[in-house]
Amino acid sequence: MGILQHYPPRPLKLPAPYQPNPPLADPPLIALVTPSFDQGRFLEATLRGVLDQRYPRLEYVVQDGGSADETPELLAQYGPRLTHCASAPDRGQSHAINLGFAHTKGEIMAYLNSDDLLLPGALHSVAEYFAGHPEVDVVYGHRILIDAADNELGRWVMPGHDDEVLSWADYVPQETLFWRRRIWDRVGGAVDESFQFAMDWDLLLRFRDAGARFARLPRFLGAFRVHSLQKTTGSMVDRGAEEMSRLRQRCHGRKVSLLEIRRAILPYLCRQAGCNWLYRLGLGSH
């Protein structure tokens, strides 16, 4: 975990059970927002990955920051299939997410970046789990790593959820994260726009501190795209480090050392390595 390429690129293959979408007796309304800016080369794959699931009750919003690439043409093409789409300057990704959610009412919520993917059947699986577990507020799953050409680079097989580790590191694959509107409303009903890199970690901590119950689903739900123009490269690394340090200081009331972080997360990383080993042997969840 934390490594973005485990092996040379190879075609992405999913288990056969991921393809059928079992009918749901009373599917919840899912609100999904894609914030976008100049990611037109990947945006269509993101859109199709959501829309082609044919989930029966979906609010899908694309909030673009005024892209100058092929994004406007894609929004014109896919606009009729979206609940709402807009392309105008904004104050960054967090602001775009909040703008998008303002057009939704769905009971289940998530956001998906414009270069990542939802895997087939993900929406049905999440809806089915929430329906069967009314006490759970937040869910996430395993992650597949892909490159710019949709080839697979690796897999993160996640162990069971651990509230305590969240104080030290954000290990939750963001593109697999879904939550109930009730916990969203409880923590203020917005992403903190002072964060432009670690807004998802901040949101997870706010959920946890508000008493949210988390569950890790034993399924690959999303694919994280590794490419040269993503936010985790370049100047955002410095901004990201500052924001992560800010969150750790909020959790612990002081600055923490790298050695403390490593010691705190080591047991979780060992559990993750064990889950990954079992998965490769065909004995773990998939």
Mean pLDDT calculated for residue range 254-263: 96
**Of the candidates 51, 101, 61, the residue with the CA atom closest to the CA atom of residue 85:** 61
- With a cut of 70, say whether residue 210 has pLDDT above it: yes
Higher pLDDT residue, 285 or 35? 35
- With a cut of 90, say whether residue 286 has pLDDT above it: no
The confidence score (pLDDT) of residue 271 equals: 95
Q: What are the backbone dihedrals phi and psi of residue 249, each rounded to the nearest 5 degrees, phi first?
A: -65, -35
How big is the chain, counted in residues? 286
What's the pLDDT band for 15 if we cut at 50, 70, 90?
confident
Determine whether domain 26-226 maps to CATH 3.90.550.10: yes
Alpha helices in 24-89 (DSSP H): 40-51, 71-78
E strands, the chain, in order: 30-36, 58-64, 84-87, 108-111, 117-118, 138-146, 152-156, 178-180, 214-225
**Of the candidates 94, 30, 92, the residue with the CA atom closest to the CA atom of residue 61:** 30
The confidence score (pLDDT) of residue 281 equals: 86
For residues 28 and 134, what is the distance between their CA atoms, to the nearest angstrom? 12
- With a cut of 60, say whether residue 231 has pLDDT above it: no
The position carrying tokens 């092929």 is: 70
- pLDDT tens-digit series, residues 131-153: 999 999 999 999 999 999 999 99
What's the pLDDT band for 1 if we cut at 50, 70, 90?
low
- With a cut of 70, say whether residue 236 has pLDDT above it: no
Question: What's CA 30's distance to the chain center, in Å?
Answer: 14
The position carrying tokens 């998965």 is: 279
pTM here? 0.94
- With a cut of 80, say whether residue 2 has pLDDT above it: no
Burial (0-12, 13-18, 19+ Cβ within 10 Å), 251? middle
For residues 136 and 38, what is the distance between their CA atoms, to the nearest angstrom? 36
Burial (0-12, 13-18, 19+ Cβ within 10 Å), 177? buried
Number of Cβ within 10 Å of residue 212's Cβ equals 20
